[in-house]
Amino acid sequence: MNIRLDKLLCEMGFGTRSAVKSDIKKGCVTVNSAAANRPETKIDTERDIVCYNGSEIKYSQYEYYMLYKPAGCVSATHDGRDKTVMDYFFEVRREGFFPVGRLDKDTEGLLLITNDGALAHRLLSPANHVEKVYYAEVDGQVTGETVKMFWEGIDIGDDKPTRPAGLELVDSGCDSKVRVTITEGRYHQIKRMFEASGCRVTYLKRLSMGAVRLDDTLAPGEYRKLHVDELKALMQL
């Protein structure tokens, strides 16, 4: 891929177009070990080595992260009242990132963050039926009949019943613990499904999306880049 030097620096989060042009003219940037003083210099991102103040810049058009979304923030890029998931990305200088889909404000767990709109569309498209697995704690007893209701589809007040959903009992009692697998993403879907079956969700955490599982080493609010095998699995969906 060929790209202007100033555009490359902007896309990688080194400042505005005017700021990086100034840095280039000050001699802060080298290309293949030679000083670069022309912002319009064409860079071959596969072959040329670009350094900013002596540090090599690895260009990537798209980047992919997993975030352990904590409860209490909204899945949005901006919000006038509440903290958003993007507020946890203060170390990422690059712009254009957004969350892939939404988790409710009080729901925690896996949330993918990227600037790749095409991949986000594939993951969220109802036609692709990407599996999402959740752990839930429920006020009420989940029974075999509840499992059957989830698999057959539940009327939650929308135009159509929900698609078949998997429901695995982890601990069934007055307060039940379960794993739920859904292939769509309706508004408050899991909470509404349990309400329709006579229960109430008290805690909800997303464990996986497609082949990508939440990293057990991440604490709420922490994030990391996707590993190569995780990204390949998403690309194959």
Q: Could you tell me which residues come within 8 angstroms of residue 81 by beta carbon, excluding any fewer than 6 positions away?
A: none
Distance separating the N- and C-terminal Cα atoms of the chain: 25
Please give the helix or strand (H or E) that residue 169 lies within, else none: strand 166-171
d(CA 133, CA 213): 9
Q: How far apart are CA 153 and CA 159, in angstroms?
A: 13
Check: CB of residue 182 under 8 Å from CB of residue 161: no
Q: Is-catalytic flag, 171?
A: no
Q: What does the DSSP assignment read for 90-125?
A: TT------EESS---TT-EEEEEEES-HHHHHHHH-
3-state secondary structure 53-88: CCEEECCCCCCEEEEEECCCCECCCCCCCCCEHHHH
* Residue among 48, 104, 175, 215 flagged as catalytic: 104
Rounded distance, CA 107 to CA 99, Å?
Answer: 14
Q: Which residues are catalytic?
A: 104
